[in-house]
Amino acid sequence: MAEKLNLNRVSMPKQEPQVRAHNFNEVAQGYTAEMAKEEASRCIQCKKRNCVTGCPVDVDIPEFIMAIRDGNMAEAVTIMKDKNILPGICGRVCPQESQCEQTCTLAKKAAPIAIGRLERYVADWERLQPAAAKPKPVIPPSTGKKVAVVGSGPTGLTAAADLAKMGHQVTMFEALHVAGGVLMYGIPEFRLPKEIVQAEVEYVQSLGVDLRLNSVIGKIDTVDELLKGGYDAVFLGTGAGLPMFLNCPGENLNGIYSANEFLTRTNLMKAYLFPKYDTPIKKSRRVAVIGGGNVAMDSARCALRLGAKEVYIVYRRSEAELPARREEVENAMEEGIVFKFLTNPKRFLGDDKGWVTKMECNEMELGKPDESGRRRPIVKKGSEFMIDVDTVVVALGTSPNPLVPSTTEGLATTKKGTVVADEKTGKTVKDKVWAGGDVLTGAATVISAMGAGKRAAAAIDAYLRG
Amino acid sequence: MYKIMYREKLTTNIHLFKIEAPAVARKAQAGQFIVIMPDEKGERIPLTIADWDHVEGTITVVFMEVGKTTNKLAMLKAGDSIFALVGPLGLPTHIEKYGTVVCVAGGFAIATIVPIARAMRQAGNKVISIMGFRTKSLVFWEERLRSVSDDLIITTDDGTYGRKGLVTEPLKELLEKDKNIKRVIAIGPTPMMKFSSKTTEPFGVKTIVSLNPIMVDGTGMCGCCRVEVGGQTKFTCVDGPDFDAHQVDWDLLIARQKSYLGEEKESLELWRHECQAAGEKR
């Protein structure tokens, strides 16, 4: 144990708000070797390992932190990747404050260990090593079993990697032209550089996973055809890709985007580099983003970086109920995003060419808690007012894409469109088919989707070994 | 992957590509489309599948040079490969034995209507086709459409070939004299589809159009292609592309198609300038 408990975590350098609001470079810059060692040495290596219980994928946190402290970086990588194949991604986008860092023993006294920052440091260290110096994964002899993984987002990547590490032959199908799912189309470059996502996808491929891009299961082969065609099991990790709209008048005016479209144009298609890249996005001045989650924060911060003069977050509840990570809310506020709480759009008005110009809103007040446990927003009568806008981004959440469920016989779905499956194993009611991630739960976090991929991989492995 | 096996210039600015895409060819049906991305920096655009050969593992698309993406595509040669191609997307055209079906196509949409006319005829319908062009030099696939139709009417705006005028005129005459026409399929530029729809509406003949809004992913993810049909918002990529013409909000579709006119022009001009500069260097 350290001689004296250090209660202050080492802070991580960030780009200044007024600078970063105008570029797409990463906001948080990561620890230096010295910072990482200093933070790692704060860990008291307690016997309880409370942090591990807070991790959805059971990373051996005290061990990898000890390896950093002792300067054994290759060992830190090996420990990390044994449980988490996407550390560069998780270190950046996991809500550690409500997981491992919340359960960290030090959290009771003062600042918990910055586990996420250390995780990121390990991943970034590895990525910069020459190929020969990187720890090599050990692949067991082939079991001769074939598994199809549908979707290459966080849950698909994790399931595919684990199944490959168990010796199964894995084919991963992706609808888009790059792998990564929401990590590529949704989360912006300034929070998760795409180069890092692709490096971690390449790692999964290096385990022997055969990646098939531009392949929409249900349109080419169906799940049943995959099973007939020689796959012994199928894992569905198709996510929650269908955007929800408000269903209020004027919502189809030009300049009104779903967050999925706004982020896909910006991130996946790199519209922020237009016309160097061919996909355009509207140059906006006044942007309203509807919603209060991480996707709303990402959309607002993208809008600012694309050159908007004023960007609003329009949220029907109050600041206390914002579902976004606190860190992202603070980042957005620092950058100058204006929050309009207790505000809900009622309709959109446009000009004679069909472009949105105004948004009529209601003021809201909070009533008794609803089924989600949050206080229900109620419209204040006669509170209508106008906001001038030229762009609106609707970030109200997503539901599962029905493409795969609707083309798969014998797969049960809920009213919300999620696939019915065993919570622990991801086993669906259909023989030989498992599912995990947002397609089961509705939109959730990267790490919970990874946890589901891991559990399903273990269940598939047990099934295949009979 | 996605190698161009064969290409043909059909008219001055309309091109045909036969592309290697076995997985798509195996499942393609009349009315479905692909999303294509010429290169890594390119845009994703939808193109209708004009034909397919599952033995050969190829699909055929026909496109007109309009913006940067189609201009880029037009420069590719046989043997070149396309960066990304996904499909078959959208719902296939509903094929049934109705009696008499009129297939109306404007401009390069002839390529879209041919497989539909063929499928309608195979289902036992009498198929009357109308193909309209601006002028004679733009006419293509006349024999192909004739071979899958019982009757074929050709119009040109300027009267240089076939009948002078728009496709809506013979369409109206057919509806007036033939009460057995139970369905009209009209595919082409949006104004042509809108006016075909207006033509058939008084006759109460169900008319199907294949809408062509701007798309990004083509799988229901972004909602860019949303249209209003019968007062309901629909995603063209997964709910369509075929819709009941009499229920479509045409003005909304036309406005949304113009979303990026300025950007498209800027992008194309810059690219032409770059091509010219590169050409001069060589």
- Give the pLDDT confidence of A382-400 residue by residue, as tens digits: 999 999 999 999 999 999 9
pLDDT of residue A4: 61
> Binning pLDDT at 50, 70 and 90, where does residue A186 land?
very high
Question: Cβ distance B140 to B15 under 8 Å?
Answer: no
* Residue A246: closest C-alpha in chain B: B233
CA dihedral A232, A237, A241, A246 (to 10 degrees): 110
CA distance A278 to B42: 5
| B126 CB-near residues (< 8 Å, 6+ apart) | B99, B100, B101, B150, B180
ipTM score assigned to the predicted complex: 0.94
* Residue A174: closest C-alpha in chain B: B86
**pLDDT > 80? residue A11:** yes
Average pLDDT of chain A is: 93
Over residues A155-179, mean pLDDT: 96
Over residues A200-229, mean pLDDT: 96
Maximum pairwise Cα distance, chain A: 72
Flag if B267 and A282 touch (Cβ within 8 Å): no
* Residue B257: closest C-alpha in chain A: A254
pLDDT of residue A280: 96
**pLDDT > 70? residue A5:** no
First to last CA, chain B: 29
Flag if B84 and A264 touch (Cβ within 8 Å): no
pLDDT of residue A135: 74
Flag if B222 and A260 touch (Cβ within 8 Å): yes
**pLDDT > 50? residue A125:** yes
> Binning pLDDT at 50, 70 and 90, where does residue A2 land?
very low
Q: What is the pLDDT of residues B36-86, one digit of tens each?
A: 999 999 999 999 999 999 999 999 999 999 999 999 999 999 999 999 999
On whether any CB of chain B is under 8 Å from the CB of A206, the answer is no
Q: Name residue B151's beta-bridge partners.
A: B128
Three-state DSSP state, B42: coil
Please report, as a single letter, which amino acid is at residue B187.
I
Q: Which residues of B touch A (CB under 8 A)?
A: 23-24, 26-27, 37, 41-44, 68-69, 83-89, 216-217, 219-224, 226-228, 233, 238, 251-252, 255-256, 258-260, 263-264, 266-267, 270-271
**pLDDT > 60? residue A3:** no
CA distance A49 to A68: 17
CA-to-CA separations, A237 to A10, A151, A164, A231, B23, in angstroms, rounded: 37, 5, 16, 16, 21
Between A1-10, A132-141, B2-11, B19-28, the lowest mean confidence (pLDDT) is in A1-10
- Residue by residue, DSSP assigns A310-368 as EEEEE-SS-GGG--S-HHHHHHHHHHTPEEE-SEEEEEEEE-TTSBEEEEEEEEEEEEE
**pLDDT > 80? residue A276:** yes
Identify the burial level of B246 via C-beta atoms within 10 angstroms of its C-beta, where 0-12 means exposed, 13-18 middle and 19 or more buried: middle
On whether any CB of chain B is under 8 Å from the CB of A279, the answer is yes
Flag if B221 and A245 touch (Cβ within 8 Å): no
Flag if A275 and B266 touch (Cβ within 8 Å): yes
Identity of the residue in B68, B84, B233 whose CB atom sits nearest the CB atom of A278: B68
Of the candidates A287, A294, A271, the one whose C-alpha atom is nearest the C-alpha of residue A337 is A287
pLDDT of residue A322: 94
CA distance A332 to A326: 10
Flag if B255 and A219 touch (Cβ within 8 Å): no
* Residue A279: closest C-alpha in chain B: B43
**pLDDT > 90? residue A371:** no
Count Cβ–Cβ pairs < 8 Å, chain A vs chain B: 113
Over residues A223-252, mean pLDDT: 95
Q: What is the pLDDT of residues A146-155, one digit of tens each?
A: 999 999 999 9
On whether any CB of chain B is under 8 Å from the CB of A353, the answer is yes
- Residue by residue, DSSP assigns A402-464 as THHHHHSTT--B-TTSPBPB-TTT-BBSSTTEEE-THHHHSS--HHHHHHHHHHHHHHHHHHH
Over residues A262-280, mean pLDDT: 95
pTM of the model: 0.94
On whether any CB of chain B is under 8 Å from the CB of A448, the answer is no
| H or E segment and range at residue B46 | strand B45-53
Angle, in degrees to the nearest 10, between helices A446-464 and A154-165: 30
Flag if B43 and A185 touch (Cβ within 8 Å): no
Q: Which of B75, B222, B227 to mutate to test the interface with A (most CBs of A within 10 A)?
A: B222
pLDDT of residue A381: 94
CA A242 from chain centre, in angstroms, equals 15
Those residues of chain B that have pLDDT short of 70 are 281-282
pLDDT of residue B240: 93
